[in-house]
Amino acid sequence: MITPAFLKKGDKIGIVAPARKIYMEEIEASIKVFERWGLEVILGKNLFSKNRQFAGTDEQRAEDLQIMMDNPKVKAIIAARGGYGTVKTLKLLDFTKFLENPKWIIGYSDLTALHAHLNQNLGVKSIHGTMPFNFPKDLSENEAVKTLKKTLFGEQNIYTIKPQEFNRNGVVSADLIGGNLSVLFSVSGTKYDIETDGKILVLEDLDEYLYHIDRMMMNMKYSGKLENLKGLIVGGMTKMNDNPIPFGKSAYEIIRDAVAEYDFPVCYDFPVGHIDNNYALILGNKSELHVEADKVIFKS
């Protein structure tokens, strides 16, 4: 896997919006924080464009990504926010110059589609982390922002978290892959699909019906994506929905039952996803997962 160069003071970071539309007041705080870190912020020329719920047309959103990827002076690209739409830009992108000069691409949720392509097809690491839309508006730095800074500047992150009752103990070392469950499901069977054999898979999701979580986990199971995992990290399953006739299980219970027949270690309630403490993770990186009775340790 290709590891882009870590950032240093004076480097340029580009902000683009490959999915839902964004407004300046929603990202002003992040710009000030990036500048406080010593970075120069470059805004995509179509960043504040609007086309229904999207930040401009597919072509406009792809153009911003393309310009940032092709510019050798831009050392990292961060998605302003998620929503939906990144997958619609993938077919319009040319990664030739990007591969000649790899750089960090950062985001989570909807950006999982781009992460999957980078990690699976291009062999380039990327950062699953918080986005400008999520930065605290008072310019403070929560754990999500702090871990993003450490990751971007090349400091190793070692996370120690509390155990959860459904955890399955074990110690593994493998490449990390994954992201948003719904987005992974949406690219299943396409050329952007991920290969999970021998990997640590991380999953998170937001605002899904519980039976949808079950359906997506069954797809992962029946397509063989769970059978040869080295480990599973389950992050936030946030704001789940249910029907008038209850499904009868929580999201964690659904996932627990889907992986019950396997023996790889599993960690639940990991601080990643649509939560305030959305810890930064390097997808494609060799990582260690220690699931123990009294704690979980993740190193990458």
Q: Are residues 179 and 262 in the same domain?
A: yes
Answer yes or no: is 5 within a domain: no
Answer yes or no: is 40 within a domain: yes
Q: Are residues 56 and 176 in the same domain?
A: no
Answer yes or no: is 7 within a domain: no
Q: Are residues 54 and 136 in the same domain?
A: yes
pLDDT digits (tens, 9 = 90+) for 28-73: 999 999 999 999 999 999 999 999 999 999 999 999 999 999 999 9
pLDDT digits (tens, 9 = 90+) for 181-204: 999 999 999 999 999 999 999 999
Answer yes or no: is 239 within a domain: yes
Phi/psi of residue 289, each to 5°? -125, 120
The CB-side HSE value for 34 (13 A sphere, CA atoms) comes to 26
Q: Are residues 184 and 287 in the same domain?
A: yes
Q: Are residues 213 and 243 in the same domain?
A: yes
pLDDT digits (tens, 9 = 90+) for 67-120: 999 999 999 999 999 999 999 999 999 999 999 999 999 999 999 999 999 999
Strands (E) located in 89-199: 104-107, 126-128, 158-161, 170-180
- Helices 251-258 and 210-222 cross at an angle (nearest 10°) of 20
Q: How far apart are CA 115 and CA 265, in angstroms?
A: 24
Q: Are residues 173 and 95 in the same domain?
A: no
Q: Are residues 206 and 292 in the same domain?
A: yes
* 184 contacts 178 by C-beta, under 8 angstroms: yes
pTM tops 0.95, yes or no: yes
pLDDT beyond 90 at 279: yes
Domain extent for 71: 12-152
Q: Which of 99, 125, 152 is the last residue of a domain?
A: 152
Q: Are residues 53 and 71 in the same domain?
A: yes
Q: How far apart are CA 264 and CA 170, in angstroms?
A: 7
Q: Which of 152, 180, 203 is the last residue of a domain?
A: 152
* 21 contacts 50 by C-beta, under 8 angstroms: yes
The structural domain count of the chain equals 2
Beta strand pairing call for 200-206 and 231-238 = parallel
Q: Are residues 44 and 141 in the same domain?
A: yes
Q: Which of 136, 152, 168 is the last residue of a domain?
A: 152
Mean of the pLDDT values across residues 236-263? 98
Q: Are residues 179 and 143 in the same domain?
A: no
Q: How far apart are CA 137 and CA 238, in angstroms?
A: 22
Answer yes or no: is 2 within a domain: no
Q: Are residues 147 and 44 in the same domain?
A: yes
CATH of residue 28's domain is 3.40.50.10740
Dihedral (CA of 178, 184, 190, 191) sign: negative
